[in-house]
Structure 1
Amino acid sequence: MPRLPRLELPGIPLHVTQRGVNRCAIFLDDDDRHHYRRVLREAARRHAVAIHAFVLMDNHVHLLLSANRSGDISQTLRRAGQTYVQSFNQRHGRVGTLWQGRFKSCLVDSDAYVLRVIRYIELNPVRAAMVERPEDFRWSSVHTHLDRARDPLIVPHPVYQALGSDPASRAVAYHAWLDAPIDAGEVARIRAYLTQEKALGEPRFQAMVEKALNRPVALRPRGRPRAELPAGGAGG
Structure 2
Amino acid sequence: MPRQARLIAPGFPHHIVQRGHNRQPVFVRPRDFNYYLANLEEWKQTYEIEVYSYCLMTNHVHLIVQANDNTTAIPLLMKRLAGRQTRFANTTEGRSGTLWDGRYKISPIDTDAYLLACCRYVELNPVKAEMVKSAELYEWSSYAARIGLRRCHWLDEPATFCELAADRHLRAEAYKRFVEDSAVSKTDELIRSAINSNELTGSAKFANEIKRRIARGRI
Give the TM-score band, short-chain normalised.
over 0.9
Unaligned runs of 5+ in 1: 215-236
How far apart in 1 are the matches of 2:182 and 2:26?
31
How far apart in 2 are the matches of 1:152 and 1:2?
41
TM-score with structure 1 setting the length:
0.87
**Preserved contact between residue 54 and residue 140 of structure 1 (Cα < 8 Å):** yes
Which residue of structure 1 aligns with residue 158 of structure 2?
157
Pairwise CA distance, 1:181: 4.9
Number of aligned positions between the proteins: 214
Which residue of structure 2 aligns with residue 189 of structure 1?
190
- When residues 29 and 183 of structure 1 are mapped into structure 2, their CA distance, relative to the original with a 3 A threshold, is closer
Which residue of structure 1 aligns with residue 99 of structure 2?
98
Which residue of structure 1 aligns with residue 22 of structure 2?
22
Which residue of structure 2 aligns with residue 226 of structure 1?
none
**Preserved contact between residue 43 and residue 77 of structure 1 (Cα < 8 Å):** no
Which residue of structure 2 aligns with residue 229 of structure 1?
none
Given residue 195 of structure 1, which amino acid in structure 2 is its aligned partner?
Answer: N
How far apart in 2 are the matches of 1:173 and 1:198?
29
Greater relative contact order structure (CA < 8 Å, 6+ sep): 2
Which residue of structure 1 aligns with residue 41 of structure 2?
41
Pairwise CA distance, 1:114: 0.3
How far apart in 2 are the matches of 1:148 and 1:195?
31
Given residue 110 of structure 1, which amino acid in structure 2 is its aligned partner?
Answer: T
1:71 aligns with 2:69: no
**Preserved contact between residue 37 and residue 153 of structure 1 (Cα < 8 Å):** no
CA shift digits 1:165-206 (9 cap, x unpaired): 111000110111012253532222111100110111122111
Given residue 8 of structure 2, which amino acid in structure 1 is its aligned partner?
Answer: E
Given residue 107 of structure 1, which amino acid in structure 2 is its aligned partner?
Answer: P
**Preserved contact between residue 14 and residue 66 of structure 1 (Cα < 8 Å):** yes
CA shift digits 1:22-74 (9 cap, x unpaired): 11000011000000111121111111111100001000010000001112111
How far apart in 2 are the matches of 1:105 and 1:2?
17
Query: What's the Cα RMSD here?
Result: 1.4
CA shift digits 1:134-171 (9 cap, x unpaired): 01111111012211122133111111111111110001
Given residue 198 of structure 1, which amino acid in structure 2 is its aligned partner?
Answer: E
**Preserved contact between residue 51 and residue 65 of structure 1 (Cα < 8 Å):** yes
TM-score with structure 2 setting the length:
0.93
Unaligned runs of 5+ in 2: none
Given residue 36 of structure 2, which amino acid in structure 1 is its aligned partner?
Answer: Y
Which residue of structure 1 aligns with residue 181 of structure 2?
180
**Preserved contact between residue 105 and residue 194 of structure 1 (Cα < 8 Å):** yes
Pairwise CA distance, 1:4: 5.0
Q: Percent identity?
A: 33
1:10 aligns with 2:42: no
